[in-house]
Amino acid sequence: MADKIRISWLDVLKGICILFVIIGHIVSKNSLICIFIYSFHIPLFFVISGYLLRCRNVINNRQYTLKRAKKILYPYYTLSLLMLLIYSIYSLVFGIELNFVNFIVNILIMNGFFATWFLPCLFFSEQLFFITNSAKHSVVLEILIICIAFVLSLSVKMIPAGFINAIVARILTIIVRIMIGNFFIYIGYNFNNVENLFKRSKLETIAMVLIFIIGVVVGIVNGQVDMYFLEFGMHVYYIISSVFCSVSLLSLFKKVDVKSSLLEYIGKNSLTIMATHMVFVMLFNNFTTKNHFLNIILVFIVEIIIVFIVNNYLKFLVDYSIIFNKRCGSNAK
Protein backbone atom coordinates (compact mmCIF):
# COMPACT_ATOMS: atom_id res chain seq x y z
CA MET A 1 0.00 0.00 0.00
CA ALA A 2 2.88 2.36 0.73
CA ASP A 3 3.81 2.38 -2.95
CA LYS A 4 0.32 3.72 -3.79
CA ILE A 5 0.80 6.93 -1.81
CA ARG A 6 0.65 10.01 -4.05
CA ILE A 7 1.59 13.51 -2.98
CA SER A 8 -0.11 16.14 -5.13
CA TRP A 9 2.51 18.89 -4.80
CA LEU A 10 5.21 16.36 -5.68
CA ASP A 11 3.33 15.37 -8.85
CA VAL A 12 3.11 19.07 -9.72
CA LEU A 13 6.88 19.38 -9.30
CA LYS A 14 7.41 16.29 -11.48
CA GLY A 15 5.09 17.86 -14.06
CA ILE A 16 7.19 21.02 -14.17
CA CYS A 17 10.34 18.92 -14.32
CA ILE A 18 9.17 16.90 -17.34
CA LEU A 19 8.18 20.14 -19.07
CA PHE A 20 11.74 21.34 -18.44
CA VAL A 21 12.95 18.14 -20.14
CA ILE A 22 10.85 18.92 -23.24
CA ILE A 23 11.94 22.58 -23.32
CA GLY A 24 15.59 21.56 -22.88
CA HIS A 25 15.36 19.26 -25.92
CA ILE A 26 13.85 21.99 -28.11
CA VAL A 27 15.70 25.23 -27.34
CA SER A 28 19.30 25.91 -28.34
CA LYS A 29 21.85 24.04 -26.19
CA ASN A 30 23.88 27.22 -25.69
CA SER A 31 20.91 29.32 -24.59
CA LEU A 32 20.67 30.57 -21.03
CA ILE A 33 17.35 28.78 -20.47
CA CYS A 34 18.88 25.46 -21.56
CA ILE A 35 21.93 25.90 -19.31
CA PHE A 36 19.56 26.71 -16.44
CA ILE A 37 17.36 23.65 -17.05
CA TYR A 38 20.17 21.14 -17.56
CA SER A 39 21.92 22.23 -14.36
CA PHE A 40 19.35 20.44 -12.21
CA HIS A 41 16.32 18.93 -14.03
CA ILE A 42 17.53 15.29 -14.22
CA PRO A 43 19.11 15.32 -10.71
CA LEU A 44 15.77 16.64 -9.43
CA PHE A 45 13.99 13.51 -10.69
CA PHE A 46 16.42 11.34 -8.71
CA VAL A 47 16.05 13.55 -5.62
CA ILE A 48 12.25 13.21 -5.84
CA SER A 49 12.66 9.42 -6.10
CA GLY A 50 14.78 9.38 -2.93
CA TYR A 51 12.28 11.57 -1.11
CA LEU A 52 9.46 9.18 -2.05
CA LEU A 53 11.43 6.18 -0.82
CA ARG A 54 11.61 7.82 2.61
CA CYS A 55 7.94 8.94 2.57
CA ARG A 56 6.76 5.44 1.67
CA ASN A 57 9.05 3.74 4.19
CA VAL A 58 10.18 1.39 1.45
CA ILE A 59 11.82 -1.81 2.59
CA ASN A 60 14.03 -3.25 -0.12
CA ASN A 61 13.32 -6.88 -0.79
CA ARG A 62 12.79 -9.20 -3.73
CA GLN A 63 9.09 -8.34 -3.94
CA TYR A 64 9.72 -4.57 -4.10
CA THR A 65 12.53 -4.98 -6.66
CA LEU A 66 10.27 -7.09 -8.87
CA LYS A 67 7.46 -4.54 -8.55
CA ARG A 68 9.80 -1.69 -9.57
CA ALA A 69 11.16 -3.73 -12.48
CA LYS A 70 7.62 -4.23 -13.77
CA LYS A 71 6.81 -0.55 -13.26
CA ILE A 72 10.00 0.87 -14.81
CA LEU A 73 11.85 -1.71 -16.93
CA TYR A 74 8.77 -3.19 -18.59
CA PRO A 75 7.56 0.18 -20.01
CA TYR A 76 11.18 1.02 -20.83
CA TYR A 77 11.28 -1.82 -23.35
CA THR A 78 7.71 -1.49 -24.66
CA LEU A 79 7.85 2.29 -25.14
CA SER A 80 11.42 2.21 -26.51
CA LEU A 81 10.40 -0.32 -29.16
CA LEU A 82 7.23 1.63 -29.96
CA MET A 83 9.22 4.84 -30.40
CA LEU A 84 11.78 3.00 -32.53
CA LEU A 85 8.95 1.83 -34.78
CA ILE A 86 7.55 5.38 -35.10
CA TYR A 87 11.04 6.79 -35.68
CA SER A 88 11.71 4.15 -38.36
CA ILE A 89 8.53 5.16 -40.22
CA TYR A 90 9.43 8.83 -39.79
CA SER A 91 12.94 8.17 -41.17
CA LEU A 92 11.63 6.27 -44.20
CA VAL A 93 9.08 8.97 -45.05
CA PHE A 94 11.59 11.82 -44.82
CA GLY A 95 14.61 9.92 -46.18
CA ILE A 96 16.65 10.07 -42.97
CA GLU A 97 19.44 7.52 -42.52
CA LEU A 98 18.58 5.06 -39.74
CA ASN A 99 21.19 2.98 -37.91
CA PHE A 100 18.70 0.34 -36.78
CA VAL A 101 21.30 -2.02 -35.27
CA ASN A 102 22.76 0.78 -33.17
CA PHE A 103 19.35 1.66 -31.74
CA ILE A 104 18.56 -1.99 -30.96
CA VAL A 105 21.91 -2.44 -29.18
CA ASN A 106 21.28 0.71 -27.15
CA ILE A 107 17.85 -0.52 -26.09
CA LEU A 108 19.11 -3.99 -25.17
CA ILE A 109 22.01 -2.75 -23.04
CA MET A 110 19.68 -0.18 -21.42
CA ASN A 111 21.43 2.83 -22.90
CA GLY A 112 17.99 3.82 -24.10
CA PHE A 113 16.27 5.08 -27.21
CA PHE A 114 16.91 8.79 -26.80
CA ALA A 115 15.39 9.90 -23.43
CA THR A 116 14.33 6.39 -22.35
CA TRP A 117 17.84 5.92 -20.89
CA PHE A 118 16.53 7.56 -17.73
CA LEU A 119 14.14 4.70 -16.85
CA PRO A 120 16.64 1.84 -16.32
CA CYS A 121 19.08 4.36 -14.83
CA LEU A 122 16.48 5.24 -12.19
CA PHE A 123 15.77 1.57 -11.46
CA PHE A 124 19.41 0.55 -10.98
CA SER A 125 20.26 3.78 -9.14
CA GLU A 126 17.60 2.84 -6.58
CA GLN A 127 19.06 -0.66 -6.26
CA LEU A 128 22.55 0.75 -5.71
CA PHE A 129 21.15 3.21 -3.17
CA PHE A 130 19.62 0.39 -1.11
CA ILE A 131 23.06 -1.22 -0.92
CA THR A 132 24.98 1.95 -0.02
CA ASN A 133 22.36 3.22 2.43
CA SER A 134 22.61 0.03 4.46
CA ALA A 135 26.35 0.56 4.95
CA LYS A 136 27.63 1.75 8.33
CA HIS A 137 29.31 4.89 6.93
CA SER A 138 26.88 5.64 4.11
CA VAL A 139 27.84 9.33 3.83
CA VAL A 140 31.51 8.51 3.28
CA LEU A 141 30.56 5.78 0.81
CA GLU A 142 28.31 8.14 -1.18
CA ILE A 143 31.07 10.74 -1.43
CA LEU A 144 33.50 8.04 -2.56
CA ILE A 145 31.03 6.77 -5.19
CA ILE A 146 30.39 10.22 -6.67
CA CYS A 147 34.15 10.91 -6.84
CA ILE A 148 34.78 7.57 -8.60
CA ALA A 149 31.89 8.32 -10.98
CA PHE A 150 33.40 11.65 -12.00
CA VAL A 151 36.82 10.05 -12.55
CA LEU A 152 35.23 7.33 -14.69
CA SER A 153 33.31 9.94 -16.65
CA LEU A 154 36.62 11.42 -17.77
CA SER A 155 38.09 8.01 -18.66
CA VAL A 156 35.10 7.08 -20.87
CA LYS A 157 36.06 9.79 -23.34
CA MET A 158 39.55 8.30 -23.65
CA ILE A 159 38.32 4.91 -24.95
CA PRO A 160 39.44 4.54 -28.60
CA ALA A 161 36.98 4.14 -31.47
CA GLY A 162 35.70 0.74 -32.64
CA PHE A 163 32.46 -1.25 -32.44
CA ILE A 164 33.42 -3.29 -29.35
CA ASN A 165 35.05 -0.31 -27.66
CA ALA A 166 31.91 1.73 -28.35
CA ILE A 167 29.76 -0.84 -26.54
CA VAL A 168 32.24 -0.92 -23.64
CA ALA A 169 32.12 2.88 -23.48
CA ARG A 170 28.32 2.84 -23.44
CA ILE A 171 28.18 0.26 -20.65
CA LEU A 172 30.70 2.25 -18.62
CA THR A 173 28.64 5.39 -19.26
CA ILE A 174 25.53 3.61 -17.97
CA ILE A 175 27.39 2.58 -14.80
CA VAL A 176 28.56 6.17 -14.21
CA ARG A 177 25.02 7.51 -14.63
CA ILE A 178 23.75 4.93 -12.12
CA MET A 179 26.41 5.93 -9.60
CA ILE A 180 25.51 9.61 -9.97
CA GLY A 181 21.77 8.88 -9.84
CA ASN A 182 22.34 6.94 -6.62
CA PHE A 183 24.00 10.00 -5.07
CA PHE A 184 21.02 12.23 -5.84
CA ILE A 185 18.59 9.60 -4.54
CA TYR A 186 20.59 9.65 -1.30
CA ILE A 187 20.16 13.45 -1.15
CA GLY A 188 16.40 13.12 -1.60
CA TYR A 189 16.14 10.31 0.94
CA ASN A 190 17.85 12.49 3.53
CA PHE A 191 15.96 15.67 2.57
CA ASN A 192 14.31 15.80 6.01
CA ASN A 193 17.72 16.30 7.61
CA VAL A 194 18.30 19.37 5.44
CA GLU A 195 14.76 20.61 6.06
CA ASN A 196 15.19 20.34 9.85
CA LEU A 197 18.12 22.80 9.69
CA PHE A 198 15.71 25.58 8.68
CA LYS A 199 12.41 24.35 10.09
CA ARG A 200 12.49 26.39 13.29
CA SER A 201 13.59 29.52 11.51
CA LYS A 202 11.06 32.14 10.44
CA LEU A 203 13.32 32.78 7.46
CA GLU A 204 12.99 29.26 6.07
CA THR A 205 11.30 30.36 2.84
CA ILE A 206 13.76 33.20 2.27
CA ALA A 207 16.68 30.83 2.94
CA MET A 208 15.39 28.33 0.39
CA VAL A 209 14.86 31.05 -2.22
CA LEU A 210 18.44 32.23 -1.66
CA ILE A 211 19.74 28.66 -1.91
CA PHE A 212 17.85 28.26 -5.21
CA ILE A 213 19.30 31.52 -6.55
CA ILE A 214 22.83 30.43 -5.56
CA GLY A 215 22.24 27.10 -7.31
CA VAL A 216 21.04 28.85 -10.47
CA VAL A 217 24.00 31.28 -10.53
CA VAL A 218 26.53 28.47 -9.97
CA GLY A 219 24.84 26.41 -12.69
CA ILE A 220 25.00 29.27 -15.20
CA VAL A 221 28.64 29.94 -14.33
CA ASN A 222 29.39 26.24 -14.83
CA GLY A 223 27.87 26.38 -18.33
CA GLN A 224 26.31 23.61 -20.42
CA VAL A 225 26.09 20.20 -18.74
CA ASP A 226 24.41 16.97 -19.76
CA MET A 227 24.18 13.83 -17.61
CA TYR A 228 23.44 11.67 -20.66
CA PHE A 229 26.76 12.57 -22.28
CA LEU A 230 28.58 12.75 -18.92
CA GLU A 231 29.30 16.44 -19.42
CA PHE A 232 29.49 18.09 -16.00
CA GLY A 233 31.75 21.11 -16.44
CA MET A 234 33.36 21.78 -13.08
CA HIS A 235 32.25 18.79 -11.03
CA VAL A 236 31.99 20.71 -7.75
CA TYR A 237 29.89 23.40 -9.44
CA TYR A 238 27.65 20.70 -10.93
CA ILE A 239 27.00 19.14 -7.51
CA ILE A 240 26.36 22.53 -5.87
CA SER A 241 23.94 23.74 -8.56
CA SER A 242 22.00 20.48 -8.86
CA VAL A 243 21.74 19.82 -5.11
CA PHE A 244 20.92 23.43 -4.17
CA CYS A 245 18.25 23.82 -6.87
CA SER A 246 16.69 20.39 -6.24
CA VAL A 247 16.55 20.64 -2.45
CA SER A 248 15.27 24.24 -2.45
CA LEU A 249 12.53 23.47 -4.99
CA LEU A 250 11.47 20.40 -3.01
CA SER A 251 11.27 22.49 0.16
CA LEU A 252 9.41 25.42 -1.45
CA PHE A 253 6.84 23.24 -3.23
CA LYS A 254 6.21 21.30 -0.02
CA LYS A 255 5.83 24.45 2.08
CA VAL A 256 3.51 26.21 -0.38
CA ASP A 257 1.71 22.94 -1.27
CA VAL A 258 1.44 24.00 -4.91
CA LYS A 259 -1.80 22.96 -6.66
CA SER A 260 -2.39 22.51 -10.39
CA SER A 261 -4.59 19.81 -11.86
CA LEU A 262 -2.88 19.98 -15.26
CA LEU A 263 0.67 19.83 -13.91
CA GLU A 264 -0.33 17.10 -11.46
CA TYR A 265 -1.74 15.06 -14.35
CA ILE A 266 1.48 15.58 -16.33
CA GLY A 267 3.56 14.61 -13.29
CA LYS A 268 1.60 11.39 -12.77
CA ASN A 269 2.32 10.47 -16.41
CA SER A 270 5.92 11.72 -16.53
CA LEU A 271 7.26 8.21 -17.26
CA THR A 272 5.25 7.97 -20.50
CA ILE A 273 6.16 11.52 -21.52
CA MET A 274 9.84 10.95 -20.77
CA ALA A 275 9.86 7.88 -22.99
CA THR A 276 7.87 9.24 -25.94
CA HIS A 277 8.53 12.95 -26.43
CA MET A 278 11.88 12.93 -28.30
CA VAL A 279 10.53 11.59 -31.62
CA PHE A 280 8.01 14.42 -31.75
CA VAL A 281 10.60 16.98 -30.68
CA MET A 282 12.73 15.99 -33.69
CA LEU A 283 9.70 15.98 -35.99
CA PHE A 284 8.61 19.50 -35.10
CA ASN A 285 12.17 20.87 -34.92
CA ASN A 286 13.06 19.55 -38.38
CA PHE A 287 9.87 19.95 -40.38
CA THR A 288 7.85 22.76 -38.86
CA THR A 289 8.51 26.32 -37.82
CA LYS A 290 11.76 27.13 -36.05
CA ASN A 291 9.74 29.01 -33.44
CA HIS A 292 10.80 27.22 -30.24
CA PHE A 293 7.83 28.40 -28.24
CA LEU A 294 5.38 27.05 -30.83
CA ASN A 295 7.24 23.73 -30.99
CA ILE A 296 7.07 23.40 -27.21
CA ILE A 297 3.28 23.92 -27.38
CA LEU A 298 2.93 21.40 -30.23
CA VAL A 299 4.97 18.72 -28.43
CA PHE A 300 3.04 19.38 -25.22
CA ILE A 301 -0.31 18.91 -27.02
CA VAL A 302 0.89 15.73 -28.73
CA GLU A 303 2.12 14.31 -25.42
CA ILE A 304 -1.22 14.98 -23.73
CA ILE A 305 -2.85 13.03 -26.58
CA ILE A 306 -0.26 10.22 -26.31
CA VAL A 307 -0.84 9.94 -22.56
CA PHE A 308 -4.61 9.80 -23.10
CA ILE A 309 -4.28 7.06 -25.73
CA VAL A 310 -1.84 5.00 -23.64
CA ASN A 311 -3.92 5.30 -20.46
CA ASN A 312 -7.23 4.48 -22.14
CA TYR A 313 -6.43 2.18 -25.08
CA LEU A 314 -2.81 0.98 -24.80
CA LYS A 315 -2.47 0.57 -21.06
CA PHE A 316 -0.64 -2.74 -21.57
CA LEU A 317 2.37 -0.73 -22.78
CA VAL A 318 2.99 0.63 -19.29
CA ASP A 319 1.15 -1.88 -17.08
CA TYR A 320 2.66 -5.35 -17.03
CA SER A 321 -0.22 -6.74 -14.94
CA ILE A 322 -2.77 -6.31 -17.76
CA ILE A 323 -1.05 -8.88 -19.98
CA PHE A 324 -0.05 -11.06 -17.02
CA ASN A 325 -3.57 -11.17 -15.59
CA LYS A 326 -5.07 -12.00 -18.99
CA ARG A 327 -2.65 -14.87 -19.42
CA CYS A 328 -3.41 -16.16 -15.93
CA GLY A 329 -7.12 -15.93 -16.67
CA SER A 330 -6.82 -17.81 -19.95
CA ASN A 331 -4.71 -20.51 -18.30
CA ALA A 332 -7.30 -20.91 -15.53
CA LYS A 333 -9.96 -21.57 -18.13
Q: What is the pLDDT of residue 2?
A: 46
Write out pLDDT tens, residues 1-45: 345 568 999 999 999 999 999 999 999 888 999 999 999 999 999
Q: Domain residues for 180?
A: 2-332
Judge contact between 74 and 317, C-beta under 8 A: no
- Coil vs helix vs strand at 231: strand
Strand partners, 231: 226
Strand partners, 286: none
Distances (CA, A) of 241 to 178, 238, 266: 19, 5, 25
Higher-confidence residue: 286 or 270? 270
- Give me the mean pLDDT over the 194-202 stretch: 71
Rounded Cα distance, 148 and 143, in Å:
9
Question: In sequence order, which residues have a C-beta less than 8 Å from that of residue 274 and are 6 or more positions away?
Answer: 18, 21, 115, 116, 118, 119
- Give me the mean pLDDT over the 234-260 stretch: 95
Segment among 159-163, 265-269, 326-330 with least mean pLDDT:
326-330
- Give me the mean pLDDT over the 233-250 stretch: 97
Cβ of 273: how many Cβ atoms within 10 Å?
Answer: 24
Write out pLDDT tens, residues 106-124: 999 999 989 999 999 999 9
- Give me the mean pLDDT over the 273-286 stretch: 90
Judge contact between 278 and 114, C-beta under 8 A: yes
- Give me the mean pLDDT over the 167-188 stretch: 96
- The phi, psi pair for 319, rounded to 5°, reads -125, 100
Rounded Cα distance, 333 and 148, in Å:
54
Higher-confidence residue: 93 or 37? 37
Query: H-helix or E-strand containing 323?
Result: helix 320-332
Number of domains comprising the chain:
1
pTM, two decimal places: 0.93
CA 117, 118, 121, 127 dihedral sign is negative
Strand partners, 187: none
Indicate the pLDDT class of residue 258, thresholds 50, 70 and 90: confident
